[in-house]
Amino acid sequence: MKFLPHRYPFLLVDKVIECIPGERLVAIKNVSYNEPYFQGHFPDQPIMPGVLIMEALAQATGLLASESAPEALGEKEMIYYLVGLDKARFKRPVSPGDQLRLEVKYLRHKRNIWAFSCQADVDGEFVASAEIMCAAAEREV
């Protein structure tokens, strides 16, 4: 996770299970009962907030962009910021104990803006999807 600046409690990618630079990345987020957001969303029926599912997908796009960008081979350390989210759709709630599978596919990039097709599922069941854009910037060290 060296390419992500996020840390607990906002690191929402636990493990990358497949990465083909310039093509796709598959990662997982194990959703535990101890997630801090479950205290308020919702105490009697905890579900992962949709915005955090989108954030998990956005973090996965940052990982794929980091592995795919020419800068990844150079000396510059880059960071990728979420700059756009289109066509977001949600179908199924994510509950404690679920393993959220995050799949992001490279669509295109122009200069420092990258676009990805993203989907999340649990046990093969569609959870959410979106087209996510991120922008590259040099990381301040």
Question: How far is 3 from 81, CA to CA, in rounded Å?
Answer: 12
In contact, 116 and 26? CB cutoff 8 Å = no
In contact, 116 and 104? CB cutoff 8 Å = yes
- Catalytic residue check, 41: yes
Q: Residue 101 CA to chain centroid, in angstroms?
A: 10
Question: How far is 41 from 49, CA to CA, in rounded Å?
Answer: 7
Question: How far is 124 from 100, CA to CA, in rounded Å?
Answer: 10
In contact, 136 and 82? CB cutoff 8 Å = no
The catalytic residue among 5, 16, 24, 41 is: 41
Please report where in the chains the tokens 């989907």 appear, as a residue.
Answer: 119
Catalogue the active-site residues.
Answer: 41
